[in-house]
Structure 1
């Protein structure tokens, strides 16, 4: 029986990496798992390696291996979160957030075409044209989100959870995070599909914030945005103050 000819590509890869050709499948799996790690950091960061391992059902060693690669590639950044204790003791917990390059990895929505179109709008209509565009975009969001948020009832926490779910479905990697004492919820958007555009035209962020306020029926506050250098867009939603309807 003739012996099968060796695969030249697999042999070259083996010589270059020092691994058997069969490990090429494992390499693909490694990349897929690393992408899952990155996406979870984008969605939930700051997040520790232990929490990543728990959520992804991986060993701590496997997660740390992926984190080292992601740090080397400049896609995540580590931050020391000092524990708050009476004596201030304890080793700082290292948590990870997405770096700016991670958003390019996840993709943006036709950024270059949108930037070119908005530049033409600004040239033809001035700043008012950009404001009108941002307003129209936020009104479209209101129209799509309003039925689901109204169906959540009058509970602001439930409405905030619904808003985060809708944003996540639109690619914003959003979560709703209750604050201690139940006084507020923060909706965090770990990714922005139109980040390049928002960096150039902050009118989009401002209009989006107004849309959140209108949808939830309460005054909200933007604490940070990806467009201004934050690692996440954070919107603070108070749960225990008078609403617009009451004022």
Structure 2
């Protein structure tokens, strides 16, 4: 096979580098449209399409319809691109097969309660490190601080303000979502969801509030998403209003 000319090598390396950037953006941001990828990378839509087509052909990316929360407008939802299991495995996965075999042995030897105990213990060290980061922080800032800590540990996490779906007869709850775009133990958690459950419990303890896990990568979702209600900010009446209210109360007939 003839060797590539130097100019051709540069072109190939550039294509591979851009393709990796496309994959990493999808990893960091979750399922993403081609238009958004093009804007973030400074490429034309046609240019980013070529890289997406290559990733699709290699089985590293899959196309799916964008999920719409709340009211859905007319027309079909935009198509988004998400990493497949093979695509995620290109990034950080640690000894998946060995971990699965070990947990199977634990389950066979000690039962499901032993797996629960292992999953809980796995997050003890992580919880201790995160607790010092969140101690004394404003409750409204804790989701962001948690996301920053998770990102440092390889979870590619982010936050966004949102509201929960209202229960019948109740108003939506304001809060934040912590989105983990990468799961280092995805393949293990697919068989042992106790890992996800233990992680959710640790989040609740660290944040000092009930949290709700909305989606997990291990369950086939594009992103692990946890809803965290944020306490409402107390509304303080202006001094004049307080004085006026007090005077009205004093002047009111008994």
Question: Does TM, normalized by the shorter one, top 0.5?
Answer: yes
* Alignment of 1:53 onto 2:53: no
Q: Which of residues 3, 8, 13 in structure 2 aligns to 1:28?
A: 13
Paired residue secondary structure (1:179):
strand
State the match for 1:212 in structure 2: 203
State the match for 2:188 in structure 1: 197
State the match for 2:145 in structure 1: 162
**CA separation in 1, counterparts of 2:132 and 2:17?**
36
In the comparison of the two structures, how many residue pairs are matched?
224
Measure how far apart 1:182 and its partner are.
Answer: 8.5
Q: Which structure dedicates a bigger proportion of its chain to helix? A: 1
**Preserved contact between residue 222 and residue 235 of structure 1 (Cα < 8 Å):** yes
State the match for 1:95 in structure 2: 80
* Alignment of 1:44 onto 2:29: yes
Paired residue secondary structure (1:54):
helix
Measure how far apart 1:159 and its partner are.
Answer: 0.8
State the match for 2:133 in structure 1: 148
**Preserved contact between residue 139 and residue 231 of structure 2 (Cα < 8 Å):** no
Structure 1: segments with no counterpart, 5+ residues = 1-8, 15-19, 243-247
State the match for 2:120 in structure 1: 135
Q: Please say which of residues 212-221 and 108-117 is displaced more in the overlay.
A: 108-117
CA deviation string 1:195-225 (max 9, x = no partner): 1211111111100000011111111011111
**CA separation in 1, counterparts of 2:66 and 2:220?**
19
Q: Please say which of residues 206-215 and 113-122 is displaced more in the overlay.
A: 113-122
Distance 1:87 1:176, change over 3 A: closer
Distance 1:206 1:81, change over 3 A: closer
**CA separation in 2, counterparts of 1:155 and 1:200?**
34
* Alignment of 1:221 onto 2:212: yes
**Preserved contact between residue 83 and residue 90 of structure 1 (Cα < 8 Å):** no
Paired residue secondary structure (1:47):
coil
Measure how far apart 1:55 and its partner are.
Answer: 2.0
Structure 2: segments with no counterpart, 5+ residues = 164-171, 234-254
Which is greater in Rg?
2
Measure how far apart 1:61 and its partner are.
Answer: 2.6
Measure how far apart 1:175 and its partner are.
Answer: 1.1
**CA separation in 2, counterparts of 1:143 and 1:200?**
26
Distance 1:80 1:135, change over 3 A: closer
**CA separation in 2, counterparts of 1:225 and 1:104?**
16
**Considering only aligned residues, what root-mean-square deviation do their CA atoms show, in Å?**
2.6
**CA separation in 1, counterparts of 2:111 and 2:184?**
25
Measure how far apart 1:226 and its partner are.
Answer: 1.2
